């Protein structure tokens, strides 16, 4: 199957591969998997107390489209507020990367990862506020 | 279902008992129903194979080359459905995934949200496993990769056994939601472990070529 140029670009030069400190209260970790294929994606966001995403890192074990999808969303979310990032949908990702229908689940994984990471951050923040 | 030719009730049989024409099947006929089997995990595979051979001979499109258009089309359709059903039911893992789908959990589904169903700790473990494998691959350490594969293969088998136990218990109490969930998690583990083993296999091929 032919990958689009954008997928190949992100696959060959993935942006923001790596890890952030999971125990940092300002870091939200999203970990999602696709039981349809058995691939996993971890997305971490460093979010300021004002709710702005200042850094993003990912690690994905999957096909080229899954890696490209996560690489792309790390670029997209940086500088966005949490609320703005929540509106990123898998359709935006699939359109930008020109993913074929059989690869839509890769973009779904990326959307799920953003939501899971933000969810994790919000839970951490709430736990902190309850302690204070 | 009534025969399209003579209106006899064909009641799930592949051919009309009266006129002998290929019978139509209602949409959504299960793989089990095609072989007239109950919705159950345990399948006598040699008997299934025998049934498959007989049926595929009787339904073979070559035999209907001179038949009317309707029956030619049915011969093609039923042959395709038969092949798909046989492929799914003869193989234990495929059969288990298919049965789970009959209980309402389709692990092939790719829409948003469904993926999050696996426990977080398990996904973390998968990520760790894949990272360790990546390290072994980078170091061209085939021994290490094989050692991990042996361990993962054992866990894959254990997960499949657990899923099968759950599927068997569901045959007795089909509305046990907790058992469906357990079967779904166990089969999810099977899928992730299988993916891992495929990666090791690819690495082995590459290393040995
Ligand atoms: Zn008839």
The predicted structure's pLDDT at residue B160: 97
pLDDT category at A1 given cuts 50, 70, 90 is: low
CB contact (8 A) between residue B118 and residue A108: no
pLDDT of res. A34: 83
| Residues A2-14: tens digit of each pLDDT | 788 888 888 888 8
Write down the pLDDT at residue A101. Answer: 86
Check CB contact under 8 Å for A33 and B130: no
pLDDT of residue B115: 44
Q: Are B179 and B103 in contact (CB under 8 A)?
A: no
For chain B, give the mean pLDDT.
Answer: 92
Rounded average pLDDT over B130-140:
95
A31 to chain B: which residues are within 8 Å by CB? 120, 123-124, 127
Asked if the model's pLDDT at residue B109 lies above 80, the reply is no
pLDDT, one tens digit per residue, over B32-59 is 999 999 999 999 999 999 999 999 999 9
Each residue's pLDDT tens digit, B159-194: 999 999 999 999 999 889 999 999 999 999 999 999
Q: How many CB pairs under 8 A join A and B?
A: 63
Tell me: pLDDT of B77 over 70. Answer: yes
- A101 to chain B, any CB pair closer than 8 A? The answer is no
Partners of A81 in the beta sheet? A52
> Which residues on neighbouring strands pair with residue A58, listed in sequence order?
A17, A43
Chain-chain contact of B120 with A31 (C-beta, under 8 angstroms): yes
Indicate if the pLDDT at residue B100 is higher than 50. Answer: yes
Segments of chain B assigned to CATH 1.20.1280.20: 109-208
What are phi and psi for residue B148, nearest 5 degrees?
A: -65, -40
pLDDT in tens, A28-50: 999 998 888 788 999 999 999 99
Of A99-108, B22-31, B110-119, B147-156, the poorest mean pLDDT is in B110-119
CA-based nearest residue in chain A for residue B113: A112
A58 vs B115, higher pLDDT: A58
Question: Residue B113 has what pLDDT?
Answer: 52
Flag if A32 and B188 touch (Cβ within 8 Å).
no
Residue reference for tokens 């696709």: A34
Chain A residues in contact with B120 by the CB 8 A cut-off are: 31
Is there a contact between B195 and A36 if contact means CB atoms under 8 Å apart?
Answer: no
Task: Give residue A62's pLDDT.
Answer: 86
Long-range CB pairs of A101-104 (<8 Å, 24+ gap) are A102/A1, A103/A63, A103/A65, A104/B110
B112: nearest CA partner in chain A = A108
Instruction: List all residues of chain A from 11 to 50 with a beta carbon under 8 Å from chain B.
Output: 31-40, 42
Which residue segments constitute the domains of chain A, with CATH numbers given?
Answer: 5-124 (3.90.1010.10)
- Chain A interface mutation, best of B101, B116, B203, highest count of A Cβ atoms under 10 Å: B116
Which member of A40, A105, A109 has the closest CB to residue B126?
Answer: A40
Interface check for A59 against chain B (CB to CB < 8 A): the answer is: yes
The C-alpha atoms of residue B184 and residue B117 are separated, in whole angstroms, by: 9
Strands lying side by side in the sheet with A39-47? A27-34, A39-47, A53-61
Residue B91's nearest CA partner among B45, B35, B31, B36 is B45
Contact A34 B112 (CB under 8 A): no
The model's pLDDT over A68-78, given as tens digits with 9 standing for 90+, comes to: 999 999 999 99
Whether residue A105 lies within 8 A of chain B, CB to CB, comes out as yes
- Find the mean pLDDT for residues B128-135: 95
pLDDT value of position B111:
62
pLDDT band of B142, cuts 50, 70, 90: very high
Q: How far apart are the first and last CA of chain A?
A: 54
Fold topology of B1-90:
Helix Hairpins (1.10.287)
In terms of pLDDT, which residue wins out, B113 or B74?
B74
Examine the pLDDT at B197 and tell me if it is beyond 80: yes
The residues of chain B that CATH labels 1.10.287.110 are 1-90
Quick check: A86 contacting B, CB < 8 Å?
A: no
- CATH number for region B109-208: 1.20.1280.20
Residue B110's pLDDT band, with cuts at 50, 70 and 90, is: low
Which chain A residues have a beta carbon less than 8 Å from that of B115? 32-35, 108-109, 112
Q: Is A103 on the interface with B (CB under 8 A)?
A: no
């Amino acid at each position: 199957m032919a990958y689009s140029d954008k997928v190949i670009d992100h696959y060959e030069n993935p942006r923001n591969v790596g890890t952030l400190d999971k125990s940092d209260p300002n870091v939200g970790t999203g970990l999602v998997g696709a039981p349809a294929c058995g691939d996993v994606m971890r997305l971490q966001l460093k979010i300021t107390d004002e709710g702005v995403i200042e850094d993003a890192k990912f690690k994905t074990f999957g096909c080229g489209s899954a890696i490209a999808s996560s690489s792309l969303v790390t670029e997209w979310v940086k500088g966005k507020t949490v609320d703005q990032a929540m509106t990123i949908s898998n359709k935006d990702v699939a359109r930008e990367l020109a993913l074929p229908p059989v690869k839509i689940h890769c973009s779904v994984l990326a959307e799920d990862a953003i939501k899971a990471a933000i969810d994790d951050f919000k839970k951490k923040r709430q736990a902190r506020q309850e302690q204070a | 279902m009534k025969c399209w030719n003579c209106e006899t009730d064909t009641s799930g049989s592949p051919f009309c008992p009266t006129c002998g024409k290929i019978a139509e099947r209602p949409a959504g006929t299960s793989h089990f129903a095609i072989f007239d089997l109950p919705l159950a995990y345990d399948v006598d595979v040699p008997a299934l194979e025998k049934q498959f051979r007989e049926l595929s001979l009787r339904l073979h499109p070559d035999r209907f080359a001179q038949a009317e258009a309707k029956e030619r089309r049915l011969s093609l359709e039923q042959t395709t459905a038969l092949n798909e059903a046989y492929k799914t039911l003869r193989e234990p893992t495929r059969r288990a995934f298919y049965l789970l789908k009959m209980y309402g959990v389709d692990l092939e589904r790719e829409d948003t949200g469904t993926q999050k169903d696996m426990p977080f700790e398990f996904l973390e473990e998968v990520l760790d496993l894949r990272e360790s494998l990546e390290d072994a691959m980078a170091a061209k350490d085939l021994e290490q990769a094989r050692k991990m594969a042996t361990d993962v293969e054992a866990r894959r088998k254990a997960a499949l056994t657990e899923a099968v136990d759950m599927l068997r218990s569901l045959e007795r109490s089909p509305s046990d939601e907790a058992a469906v969930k357990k079967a779904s998690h166990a089969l999810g583990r099977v899928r992730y472990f299988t993916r891992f083993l495929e990666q090791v296999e690819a690495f082995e091929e590459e290393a040995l070529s």
